[in-house]
Amino acid sequence: MSLILELRDTFMELHEHKETLFWAQAMDLTGYVTGSLEKADIEMKRFTSDPSWLSKVREEEARSGLTSEEKLILDGWRRFFDANAIESERARKMQEEMVEMEGELARKKMDAKLGYTDPNTGKHLQTSPVKLRLMLMTNDDEAMRKAAWEGLHDIEKWLLNDDMLDIFAKRNEIGAALGYDDFYSWRVQINEGISKRVVFDKLDDLERNTRDACKRLVDSVKKEHGEDGAQPWNFDYLTQGDLTKQRAPYLSFDTAVERWGRSFAALGISMNNAKLQLDLVDRVGKYENGFMHLPHPSFIDGGEHRTGVINFTANAVPGQPGSGQRALETLFHEGGHAAHFANVMMPAPCFGQEFAPTSTALEETQSMFMDNFITDPDWLQRYALDKDGKPMPSELIHATVEESVRTLAHGMRGWLCVPYFEKTIYEMSDLERTPDAVMDAARKIENRMAFQPALARPTLSVPHLQDNESSAYYHAYILAQMAVFQFRDFFRKRDGHLLDNANIGRDLAKVIWSRGNEKNFMQFIEALTGEEFSAKATVDLVNKDLATVHREVDDALANEKKLPRFDGPIDLKHDITMIHGDKSISRSQNASDFPAMAEAYGAWIREMEKDADK
């Protein structure tokens, strides 16, 4: 059928072109021509937002004599254009206005010289929010930490004095024009395929049942450090221990690729012949956040598998304490995304691409499930070895697990502030939504969630809110974390353990990964676990008493010694190249050369570490 072929070819050409340029720009490659990404982006958007495709697909769907595969493909494309195209001319125009307003705001923000006022000199210094956050977490001088927090709070004030309120109003106008209560209702329905009410039912359940655990932590900090311990510039500084530094010798950067490959192979994970490029180390000019993108989605094309082409990146700094852990986290997290998309085996590329209607919560569940491994006691005992091959001491493993359980409720409730805040402001009328009311809403929600006067990262300063593409989707991370705990409970109950459990890769590929975006988030979670998606596993974990936590760590460590080790070849059905910008460091195309690739990369990292020491 010609429409199906036309969609396939048009999409693949535009998508691959745009993603290749996206990577070149983000990695600051030498061949990149300035401005070419923007052009490719506009061409792609013109295609995805063109409502005429929707009518063509509907027309084709109404035809008689379609095979079941053709029906499936057309359904996939209809959902794709439903999520991306806006049929109403009026709403399309409003969207253009909104994008313009956001662009204008971003330009003004660049010129606003935001930063902090040095308490010692009284001088205002221009600083990025990332640096302010770092100061807030690590500076030993309370006055400096407070100045950093006030710098972040200044961003909120600046946004409210400027055009942010008009942007909120414009977004709501679009939601209303498309027949929804507000912007949030529209976005969540499009991105997740579920209603705002269903999402917040789940979040409310989590909120109710993590309240006491969070309050216990805050009370204990206040008891130890006085009322001021709960101030946003003190709390995170006081509660995050220096365990990262203690763990560093056992989680070295130069061994990270080998440990990741071995773990994934032991988990039965296959990359399904995908081609992967990994660029893990930071450098000037490189994009500042880790991500995975796929220039070529995996799909079945008339019976033939067209394999995925996948890139992922991180900003690890060799020689910096914690960089090995950061590299491992990235390999597991982005590697989880890669395994997910490499295994899509649906009959058209619309099912295996990473944007809507593919659920963000579902995507993050796959990656966060993987990166949870590297803090598991049995994983740490087996894989976290120092350079003499000695495992991480059990006291440090106990401390690591205790810290993560003790701070879990507070951490997740900090995330909850964002969706609750966004829900509140989009539910306000334009008249109600004054600067004072919005600021007041932020502090009230933070106080209700975290039992602190404000959060270390003031909610309105969260960058997601300023861009409509990342607005009204923060709930996805929370839903994903809840699903991760549900998955972990499921595998543990069924198979007794998670470590090196080869059923995991097999089951995820079969039940979830191969099906692309055929189902929504909640349907997939239920398909794997056999139970409705819920907060139960998270709530159980958050409220576990510490004696039980430590007993379970002891059990896991004893059990690790009995579990068979995976000594087979690292066969991920892969073609992996380790790169650094334009430079290729090492490559593996099969199991036999994986160790050599990992070792060559490790040697390159050790050289960088030596340079950092100088």
**Closest approach of Zn ion to the CB of residue 517, in Å:** 16
Q: How far is the CB of 313 from Zn ion (least distance, A)?
A: 12
Handedness of CA 469, 10, 311, 79 (dihedral sign): positive
What torsion, rounded to 10 degrees, do the Cα atoms 542, 547, 553, 559 define? -120
Which residues are 281's β-sheet partners?
316
Distances (CA, A) of 487 to 476, 490, 496, 504, 577: 16, 5, 13, 10, 31
* Closer by beta carbon to Zn ion, 325 or else 367: 367
Task: Tell me whether residue 286 or residue 340 sits nearer to Zn ion (CB atom).
Answer: 340
- How many CB atoms neighbour CB 10 within 10 A? 12
Judged by beta carbon, residue 95 or residue 367, the one nearer Zn ion is 367
Nearest to residue 610, comparing CAs of 409, 310, 318? Answer: 318
The one-character DSSP state at 66 is -
Closest approach, Cβ 269 to Zn ion, in A, equals 16
Residue showing tokens 């569940």: 365
Question: How far is residue 471's CA from residue 478's CA, in Å, rounded to a whole number?
Answer: 15
Q: CB 392 → Zn ion: shortest distance, Å?
A: 26
Nearest to 207 by CA among 219, 215, 196: 215
- Distance separating alpha carbons of residues 190 and 309, to the nearest angstrom: 26
For residue 242, the SS3 value is coil
CB 471 within 8 A of CB 183: yes
Residue 539 to residues 203, 205, 483, 485, Cα–Cα distance (Å): 11, 9, 12, 9
Q: Which is nearer to Zn ion, 367 or 452 (by Cβ)?
A: 367
Instruction: Tell me the closest approach of the beta carbon of residue 355 to Zn ion, in angstroms.
Output: 13
* Smallest separation (angstroms) from Zn ion to the CB of 367: 4
Give whichever of 91 and 368 is closer to Zn ion, judged by the CB atom: 368
Closest CA to 473 of 419, 428, 521: 419
Report the run of H or E that residue 537 belongs to, with start and end. Answer: helix 536-542
368 or 498: CB nearest Zn ion: 368
Query: In terms of CB distance, is 25 or 367 closer to Zn ion?
Result: 367
Strand partners, 309: 275, 296
Nearer to Zn ion, 367 or 400 (CB): 367
- Which DSSP string do the residues of 103-123 spell out, in sequence order? HHHHHHHHHT--EEE-TTT--
| Smallest separation (angstroms) from Zn ion to the CB of 480 | 8
Tokens of 151: 């710098």
Neighbours of 551 (CB within 10 A): 11
Nearest to 594 by CA among 300, 339, 332, 276: 276
Least separation in angstroms between residue 437's CB and Zn ion is: 33
Pick 311 or 367: Cβ nearer Zn ion = 367
Whose Cβ is closer to Zn ion: residue 360's or residue 588's? 360
Closest contact distance (angstroms) between CB of 394 and Zn ion is: 31
Question: How near is the Cβ of 368 to Zn ion at its closest, in Å?
Answer: 7
Q: How far is the CB of 509 from Zn ion (least distance, A)?
A: 18
d(CA 264, CA 273): 15
Nearest CB to Zn ion, comparing residues 465 and 484: 484
Residue with nearest beta carbon to Zn ion: 367
Structure tokens at 39: 């052009």
Pair of tokens at residue 418: 């964002």
Distance, in Å, from the CA atom of 460 to the CA atom of 463, rounded to the nearest integer, reads 8
Q: What is the CA radius of gyration of the chain?
A: 24
Please give the helix or strand (H or E) that residue 59 lies within, else none: helix 52-61
Least distance CB 341 / Zn ion (angstroms): 11
DSSP letter string, 319-376: TSTTHHHHHHHHHHHHHHHHHHHHT---SSGGGS-SSTTS-HHHHHHHHHHHHGGGG-
Query: Smaller CB distance to Zn ion: residue 313 or 381?
Result: 313
Q: Where are the beta strands (DSSP E) in 98-164?
A: 115-117, 124-126
Query: From the CB of 5, what's the least distance to Zn ion, in Å?
Result: 32
By the criterion CB under 5 A, which residues form the site for Zn ion? 367
Cβ at position 426, least distance to Zn ion in Å: 25
Nearer to Zn ion, 367 or 468 (CB): 367
Residue number with CB closer to Zn ion (367 or 529): 367
How buried is 63 (Cβ within 10 angstroms: 0-12 exposed, 13-18 middle, 19+ buried)?
exposed
**Single-letter amino acid code for the residue at 557:** L
